[in-house]
Amino acid sequence: MNTLKKLFTLFIITLFYSCGGSSGGGGDTPPPPPPPPTPKATTLIAPADKTECLDGENVEFSWNASENTDSYTIIIKNLLTAQSISQTTTSTKVTIKLEVGQPYSWYVVSSSNTSTTTAESGKWKFYLKGEQILNYAPFPADLSSPKSESTVDAGSIKFEWSGSDVDDGDTLTYDIYIDSANPPTTRVRTGYASSTLDYTISEGGTYYWKIVTKDNHGSNSESGVSMFKVVE
């Protein structure tokens, strides 16, 4: 009889644990909720990239809706004065008053109410038409390498940039300035036709560079100054 009681007790205990019972009265800890979805970058529509834009000072900007996005911030920069303006909206279209006869860049940042992560669109450029402008100055060059505030080894350093112009048929050349002074005043190339340059810097230190872009009509524009460090 005692043997039967022991077997019955063992059966009950085995059944209890096989059904998920425990002395704590709880099961496995549930997995944490998934992180909120992050916004995706939008694609720009208008004004189109590298174009002569519109007549008048009120410019309509538009872009495509992006996933997981609650609001958009448009950032517009005057490429001559380096002044920027921004505006946040829940729409995919906004009209902003700008000074005519000036080159601009613009891009859009997508944001979500449930995530701290943002996403940036590509960056486009345009010229806002002015009165009786027969030839537009080139867009200021975009400096791509060495990247701003980067560190490179002494020796032959590759400088890369990109230039553009809204006027079809214009020929672009570049004056390249590299110096340890800010702004750089040492012109290392004049009327340079390529957009890459291998230039040797042997001494370590902090250096600055910029590009002056010229077209064949005598118009020109100046990039911003970029800083980089050289280590021996």
CATH for 190? 2.60.40.10
Residues near 85 by beta carbon (within 8 Å), at least 6 away in sequence:
75, 76, 96
Q: Tell me, yes or no, whether 64 and 147 share the same domain.
A: no
- Tell me the two tokens of residue 118: 């943002």
Q: How far apart are CA 229 and CA 151, in angstroms?
A: 5
Predicted confidence at residue 186, as pLDDT, reads: 96
Which residues partner with 67 through β-bridges? Answer: none
From 128, 157, 176, the end of a domain falls on 128
Q: Please tell me the predicted confidence (pLDDT) of residue 180.
A: 96
Total number of domains constituting the chain: 2
Residue ending a domain, among 96, 128, 160, is 128
Give kind and range of the element (H or E) at residue 22.
Answer: none
DSSP 128-140: E--TT-SSPPPEE
CB atoms within 10 A of CB 222: 17
Of 104, 7, 122, 8, which Cα lies nearest the Cα of 57?
104
**114, 176: one domain:** no
Specify whether 162 is located in the same domain as 182: yes
Return d(Cα 139, Cα 125) in angstroms, integer. 8
Looking at residue 203, its pLDDT comes to 95
Q: What's the predicted TM-score (pTM) here?
A: 0.70
The continuous run of DSSP H or E covering 33 comes out as none
Residue 20 is predicted with a pLDDT of: 47
Q: Report if residue 19 sits inside a domain.
A: no
For residues 87 and 155, membership in a common domain is answered with: no
Residue-level pLDDT at 132? 59
Residue 75 shares a structural domain with residue 155: no
Written as one string, the DSSP assignment of 150-213 is: EEEESEEEEEEEEEE-SSTT---EEEEEEESSSS---EEEEEE-SSEEEEEE-S-EEEEEEEEE
Q: Tokens 């174009």 appear where? A: 51
Is there a single domain that holds both residue 118 and residue 154? Answer: no
Q: How far is residue 43's CA from residue 65's CA, in Å, rounded to a whole number?
A: 8
- Distance between CA atoms of residues 3 and 134, nearest Å: 109
- The two three-digit tokens of residue 63, written as one number: 């872009």
CB burial of 103-125 (b: ≥16 within 10 Å; e: otherwise) equals: bbbbbbbbbbeebeeebebeebb
Same domain for 226 and 145 = yes
Helices and strands (H, E) in the chain, number of each type = 1, 18
Domain extent at residue 93: 44-128
**What do you get for the CA distance between the two ends of the chain, in Å?**
91
Same domain, 163 and 104: no
Is residue 152 domain-shared with residue 196, that is, in the same domain? Answer: yes
For every one of its 232 residues, what pLDDT tens digit does the chain have, with 9 covering 90 and above? Answer: 455 555 455 545 554 444 444 444 556 788 888 888 999 999 999 999 988 876 678 999 999 999 999 999 999 999 988 899 999 999 999 999 999 888 999 999 999 999 999 999 999 999 887 765 667 789 899 999 999 999 999 999 999 999 988 877 788 999 999 999 999 999 999 999 999 999 999 999 999 999 999 998 888 999 999 999 999 9
Among the residues of 73-135, which ranges form H helices? none
